[in-house]
Amino acid sequence: MTPIKNCIVNKDTRSNPIWLMRQAGRYLPEFREIRKNNQDFVKLCLNENLSSEITLQPIKRFGFDAAIIFSDILMIPFAINQDVKFEKGFGPKLGNLNIDVISKINEIDFTNKLNPVYNAISLTAQNTLLKDKDLIGFVGAPWTILVYMINKMSPKKGIPENFFNDISLLNNLLFIIEKFIKLHIKNQINAGANIIQIFDSWAGLLENKIPEYIYNPTFNIVEYTKKLGVPVICFPRGIKNYKEYCDIVKPDMINIDYEVDPNEIKKNIKIPVQGGLDPKILLTNKNNLKKEVEKYLAIFKDHPYSFNLGHGILPETKIDLVKELISIVRNYK
């Protein structure tokens, strides 16, 4: 198992640590070069050598304080035998859901199917570029995985009206999802991940039933991960009450989205905070970037804070503005 560094969570650096969600991805020319020759996204995630190389690309270029393994939250549905494809200009498309088939998946089959992901983590963890840096493994939260598996695509227009018609199916599926999220976390930690981030990308869609579908299952995942000796960052994007979420779910660090007031977060939340900046700020100019970045740095000056975005970095982001962002964060006093 990798040594516990955790500078992201525990701030073992002189300045605010910095890494970016989706930092290994489409804004990098070196990633686009690989992607040109690897059109099948799922197969690319299962190519251990390329996944490790992609994970390290932003570390080589920018020297971020953490790497996050190049993979996808939908590797879990894939590994429990729901078809998963990514269509250019559309996003993920999932196949028909067969609960009988999914119920028969065992832990050995699941692990074997995702072994290339774990091998990629092992390769990456051993790289000298990560000597003093964190390697983040990740999963989708139970609610977000459930939404994708039922909806079979990104629920950009919200969840359908009939989503909760079959509560028995939802609860059975949620039980299976939770079981395999835990296994996926354990396997990533055994391979060398020393922090786990839980992405609840569609937390903001739920108006009620939040305890049943967000708080309780995510708490179970967080507690399980903590028992493995690894800290947990949670990103419940769009959640209305971050304080309540933190009080109930109890992550080690909370990643905030760009629609939340950071002053309210600082006032109400005692645990370390990550993120917040609107990724679109990186599409503007250096003066505006400095103003917006320093706003977050000033607000969290006396609070444990790791700099990140309030969502993933956008594909059209220019390299020069990422360099400028890092310079602003590291030189801030």
Q: One-letter amino acid identity for 122?
A: S
pLDDT exceeds cutoff 50 at 158 = yes
pLDDT exceeds cutoff 80 at 9 = no
Report pLDDT digits (tens) over 273-305: 999 999 999 999 999 999 999 999 999 999 999
pLDDT exceeds cutoff 50 at 50 = yes
Q: Which domains does the chain have, with CATH numbers?
A: 7-331 (3.20.20.210)
Residue 99: per-residue pLDDT: 93
Which residue do the tokens 């975005």 mark?
A: 309
Residue 2: per-residue pLDDT: 38
Percent of the chain with pLDDT over 90: 92
Residue 88: per-residue pLDDT: 86
Residue range 249-262: mean pLDDT, rounded: 98
pLDDT exceeds cutoff 60 at 3 = no
Report pLDDT digits (tens) over 175-197: 999 999 999 999 999 999 999 99
pLDDT exceeds cutoff 80 at 4 = no
Crossing angle of the two packed helices 115-125 and 167-191, in degrees rounded to 10: 30
Global confidence as pTM = 0.96
Q: Which of 4-8, 113-117, 328-332 has the lowest mean pLDDT?
A: 4-8
User: Which of 223, 280, 220 has its CA nearest to residue 252?
Assistant: 223
The string of DSSP letters for 175-209 reads HHHHHHHHHHHHHHHHHT--EEEEE-TTGGG-SS-
Q: Greater confidence, 158 or 312?
A: 312
Distance (Å, rounded) from C-alpha 42 to C-alpha 181? 18
Distance (Å, rounded) from C-alpha 24 to C-alpha 38? 15
Structure tokens at 304: 């444990």
Cβ-contact 221, 76 below 8 angstroms: no
Cβ-contact 45, 76 below 8 angstroms: no
H or E stretch covering 66: strand 66-68
Residue range 256-271: mean pLDDT, rounded: 97
Structure tokens at 331: 């030189």
Q: Greater confidence, 38 or 2?
A: 38
Distance (Å, rounded) from C-alpha 306 to C-alpha 239? 20
Name, in order, each residue with C-beta under 8 angstroms of 93's C-beta and a sequence gap of 6 or more: 84, 85, 86, 87, 152, 153
Q: Which of 10-24, 100-114, 153-167, 220-234 has the lowest mean pLDDT?
A: 10-24
Residue 242: per-residue pLDDT: 98
- Residue 159 exposed, middle or buried by CB count within 10 Å (0-12, 13-18, 19+): middle
Confidence band for 14, pLDDT divided at 50, 70 and 90: low
Report pLDDT digits (tens) over 104-152: 999 999 999 999 999 999 999 999 999 999 999 999 999 999 999 999 9
Residue range 224-231: mean pLDDT, rounded: 98
